Amino acid sequence: MSNLSNLKEVLYTAHAKVAGGREGHVESDDGLIKLDLRLPKEMGGNGGGSNPEQLFAAGYAACFEGAVRFVAGQQKVKVDGASVASSVGIGPRNDSGFGIKVKLEVSLPGVEDATALEIVKTAHEKVCPYSHATRGNVDVDISVNGKTVA
């Protein structure tokens, strides 16, 4: 069982239900998400639907960009035109089962490289809940304006 004692309070809880696994259907409780799920062709499926990796990529990118904008706002740095492209790969782990790896490519046009690196590093290390959740469990490679974030 998960220990969420590090949260002061829960501000929002998302709800979704899947029936049929990777060959099923997902819906959010508010009906805004209604997707058929399909195993990608690259994994032996027929494709033609979304998959958990796409949903995770979308969620992480949205959350991470929000964290970047939050940090930039605190530092009084304009990030007009900011975007985050994410890639989530899945494959067999060396020990057993499957694992994922993530690549986040952050674009902060017009922001000096050193400032952009600082903003993104802070967003990853201190703000983004997805980064907190994946830390120590998932390889996450991040770049900003084409430069690797340490």
- The pLDDT value given to residue 111: 97
Domain boundaries along the sequence of the chain:
1-50, 51-148
Residue 64, SS3 per DSSP: helix
Average pLDDT of the chain is 94
Q: Does the model's pTM come out above 0.85? A: yes
Q: Comparing 1-50 with 51-148, is the CATH topology the same?
A: no
Helices 52-74 and 113-122 sit at what angle, rounded to 10 degrees?
120
Q: Is 92 exposed, middle or buried (0-12, 13-18, 19+ CB in 10 A)?
A: exposed
* pLDDT above 60 for 1: no
51-148 CATH fold: GMP Synthetase; Chain A, domain 3 (3.30.300)
Q: Read off the pLDDT of residues 85-110 as tens digits, 9 standing for 90 and up.
A: 999 999 999 988 999 999 999 999 99
Q: How far apart are CA 13 and CA 35, in angstroms?
A: 20
